[in-house]
Chains A and B, each alone.
Chain A
Amino acid sequence: MLASLFKFKGGVKPASHKDESTRTPIARAPLPPRLVVPLRQSAGGTPRPLVKAGQRVLKGERIGAPEGNFSSAIHAPTSGSVLALESRTLPHPSALPALCVVIEPDGEERWIERAPLDYAAQAPEALRDLLRDAGVVGLGGATFPSHIKLKPGAAGRIETLIVNGAECEPWITCDDLLMRERADGIVRGAALLRHIVDARRVLVGIEDNKPQAIAAMRAVAQSAGIEVAVLPTRYPAGGEKQLIRALTGIEIPYGRLGTEFGVQCFNVGTAYAAQRAIEHGEPLISRIVTLTGNVARPGNHEVLIGTPIDDLLALAAPKADTDRIILGGPMMGFVLPRTDLPVTKAANCILAASPALFPHPGPELPCIRCGACTRACPAELQPHELYWFARAKNFGKAQEYHIFDCIECGCCAYVCPSNIRLVDYYRFAKTSMRALEREKAASDAARQRFEFRTLRSEREQKEKAERLAAKTAAARQALATGGQPTAPPPGDAAPALPPLDESKKALIAAAIARAQAQKAAVQPKNIDNLAPEKQAEIREIEARRAQVREMAKTPPEEPV
């Protein structure tokens, strides 16, 4: 029954601090006075807004339609009225604003009409569309649209489906509590996902520091033909790639989907959300959030998406010496710039930090290349080399040393004896490289536009010259054939020829005069007498200006 385990390299064993928030069952967070629902909560395109300010919405009503295939729908978390459709700051390290739907709940929690389905009777394609329309995305933190992950890949079919209940990051317990209390829903969800991809085997991976969750899952998994594998507790065992490696021995490289290798991984929360979506007809409008750290009342809450973090903090009552609030865990989370930001589908934990609980690391000392980071790196990178390259902004070299394979788990920074915040350097390098990439793409596009324009004007000139040449040739031929043009009927054209010649001369003279006048008017433009290379340069500048005007028209891209 028990799956044989493989090892992944690296990893660290920080104190887990899971007990604080697992003493009480999951509580339902009260309805806040305002909900701010960001439209873009997953990888892929920003959903198209479907509501206007002043409009009334029902609980579970779609307010954002998936834009393109690589996107996921967004729903009203409760019934009420839309106050505004406006740009608000998102809980993201960049603190950049994005389009959000602000809803004032009416307190009635009136649902849309829910249509529970029996998944076994549905085709996989239909179920994938339903999941997309229900807004089901990965709840482990990456919020990757689930329907994309469920598509059969190059390897044919997904042989092994992995359900991730490892929850390796310290302090976070939302998956633990979900498994303890709603194991049945998770297992039914896993069976649903298995049905969609026609997987041969389903494995649930749980770290051995969650015995109650393991027991609860085992109690229901066996009858559904699902195996529960117990993993030794070692961060980041719950990293998708590390978990797949630990359970199947398969290593998924950066930039590839597990599907291509016949294996796919879903968080337990995602499996549960998929089950709610199909078997209950409820779209993803809430999630379990752990409130813990330096608080008086740690615990887990079922929270509507869009609930302001301030409202949740009030439930947990942070202690007086709390100096910062972290979204996510201590390893991969980030310090929130403000706390009036909404909970999104990615928010798994809100951690209050105090200097006593999370001492500020000492000053950064020089890297002595001791190699502790290399031993701890689960992606088997050379973190110290990447650090040097990132510091020197030697991005080409950083890429050569696979900086994009870094999963930003934070193990290297955790073990660094010189207190170097290594992951910050990698994030800096990655975002810089992405920005350069975007700039390059923009300038490439501008160059292509410019080249195309030059090509087009050249072609038009050539065509014009050809037309003119053809016309002249035709006229000459007409004269050569004895003043008998072929096109007009010979009867009335022949006598009219001499006066036409006269008028033609007059016309030509007028045209010459016009052209000269125009040239005189244009002359003040001081670029005509310049060297050809200078003129080319000016043309290039003009093209760039045009590009800038073009860019100003289109809205800036989303932060990655």
Chain B
Amino acid sequence: MALSTLGNHSVTTTAVERAILGKGSDSKGLIFKLLVGSSIAFALLVLVVLLFDVVTGAWPVLTGRGADFLSSDLRSRASESGVFQPLRGTFWIGVFVVVFSFPVGIGAAIYLEEYAGDNVFTRFIDLNIRNLAGVPSVVYGILGFSIFVKFFDGFFPNSVGQHAGKTTAAAGITLAVLALPIVIITASEAIRAVPQALREGGYGVGATKSQVVRTQVLPYAAPGILTGTLLSLARALGEAAPLILVGAVQDKLGGRTGFFDFAQFGEQFKALPITITNFAGRPGDDWQEVTAAAIVVLLVLVLMANTAAILLRNRFEKKRG
């Protein structure tokens, strides 16, 4: 059998070539290719239609008002309304997520992957973190209200008469907690993907465990960690449900606190996703345009975070060689 195959070498080659490349020879494969191809086409089409719809809707506001739209607050008339307060709120909530959940999350991932042994207890923790990542965001809102808002109630002077703890700080920490499990999971995956040989090489030249982690594992895992963490930031920026529970103002928020004024941490806040909902619920074409413009602002903010992730990843990957 083997001999005869060898003997008919050229005949076999042609037969195989025909089977793989010939017309109509692999109709099932062709259908499969078409199916997966149309899947990507559908996904892209939805995205393009969505973006086109939003951007064309927003165009009159963005070109006609530009900076004015970004610097004014909600008013009775759509033509005077803007997104200054919600943009400020969402930006600082993002900063809270970066400052609180990134270091803690990456730290936890390093511990789980490099230090903790593989036993029932750590597997139990691992399972729980994965479950936490799937908990509906509203639940985090309830947590934020019952813990952080109550905590900050005692912290800030009761200047507005409202629940004094319904502040930017409480919202930021709530979303940081929401992002935490996702940060831990993605960072863990990235650390797990580091080749074992790299660690062994480190030990081989006499490095201690912490030296290996800092000089070998982390730099190698950095691109993956970054991608995951910044994607979780993008998710946090788009959250609305928990913020409603933590007390985001849906209608009119008073005050003219500046963009970089830290006093806002102790004040009530607005956030872009909630403002978009509020705008969208108002009747009339002019409000629909303002809604679309606010969506574009949120998209740009999220895109900037993602661009930062991609740029950093490319940089680290280049270094890694």
Chains A and B form a bound pair: no
Residues of B within 8 A of A (CB): none
Interface residues of A (CB under 8 A from B): none
